[in-house]
Amino acid sequence: MRILVTGGAGFIGSHLIDRLMAEGHEVLCLDNFYTGHKRNILKWLDNPYFELIRHDITEPIRLEADQIYHLACPASPIHYQFNPVKTVKTNVMGTLNMLGLAKRVKARFLLASTSEVYGDPEVHPQTEEYRGSVNPIGIRSCYDEGKRIAETLAFDYHRQNDVDIRVARIFNTYGPRMLENDGRVVSNLIVQALKGIPLTVYGDGSQTRSFCYVSDLVEGLMRLMNGDYIGPVNLGNQDEYTISQLATEVQKLINPHAEVKYEPLPQDDPRRRRPDITKARQLLGWEPKVPLQEGLQLTVADFQSRIQSSVQPSPLS
């Protein structure tokens, strides 16, 4: 099968490509390298069944594909808030371009949406029927509302043009290949602990998140793409941790004596976040397998290797 992955050089996209290539598919990776990195897909560059296309999805493109995994969009607050207008354009114009492509070539289209469509939720845990509590003019709205309109576009293309869509709402995901500077809580705490600087906890640390290891998420995305359920469907880990608990787990793994410093809670930061994954269990036969402690060990090892290699002296020095 010929499969297009937008944002394929990114954190989640590159892990997805690893699975697709291992299963013998022909894979096209589309990325503008705003947050993606060539090192994530380096091992596939000489493979005849892999093609890398440097392209910004806000511009149209013509190619052939049987399936489209649409993951392209900066997903961490630091990156999507750096250029919020660009984030909106990626979610709206980029999604329009990819849906138009899916319509033309009759490809199945999977939208990587987000738990951020629920905003700061008033319902807990969050079911797919919950419509969310989102600030449309806040600093996070370029991403939150951008993904909400991306979902709207997907369903409108499905109803109006009979495009075969799938919609996944992805909850906090972590694992190897996360960016050091992405501002996400897992990478923040790990990098700070490894560099011997105080661990930053926002607010009083009582806000909660649910952390899904990347291999579990990729399995869920592929089951959704290849199943009969359109969605939206929540993909995430149902185990809920406070940010303080996460900081403690990172301390245990890296430095039990690491200092914790508390900073003001960012604007519109959700107080609680946990998916109801009943639909994923029933309709996809999917649920996460990797416990937090095991996933954190693998993630810490990846960050350690990258940080150590970045400080190695040059052979010419």
Residue 4: strand, helix, or coil: strand
Total-model pTM: 0.92
Question: Does the 2-177+211-238+275-289 domain belong in CATH 3.40.50.720?
Answer: yes
Q: Report d(CA 174, CA 95) in Å as an integer.
A: 24
Q: Which of 22, 49, 52, 48 is nearest to 40 (CA)?
A: 52
Extract the tokens encoding 237. Answer: 């880990």
Contact 238, 173 (CB under 8 A): no
Q: Report d(CA 204, CA 262) in Å as an integer.
A: 7
Q: Report d(CA 259, CA 92) in Å as an integer.
A: 42
User: Would you place residue 181 in the very low, low, confident or very high pLDDT band (cuts 50, 70, 90)?
Assistant: confident
The answer, yes or no, to whether residue 156 has pLDDT greater than 90, is yes
For the chain, what are the domain ranges?
2-177+211-238+275-289
> For residue 310, what pLDDT is reported?
63
Contact 282, 131 (CB under 8 A): no
Residue 261: strand, helix, or coil: strand
Q: Report d(CA 13, CA 72) in Å as an integer.
A: 8
Residue 212: strand, helix, or coil: strand
The catalytic residue positions are 143
Contact 143, 268 (CB under 8 A): no
The answer, yes or no, to whether residue 53 has pLDDT greater than 90, is yes
User: Would you place residue 314 in the very low, low, confident or very high pLDDT band (cuts 50, 70, 90)?
Assistant: very low
The answer, yes or no, to whether residue 285 has pLDDT greater than 60, is yes
> For residue 315, what pLDDT is reported?
45
> For residue 268, what pLDDT is reported?
62
Tens digits of residue pLDDT in 232-257: 999 999 999 999 999 999 999 998 98
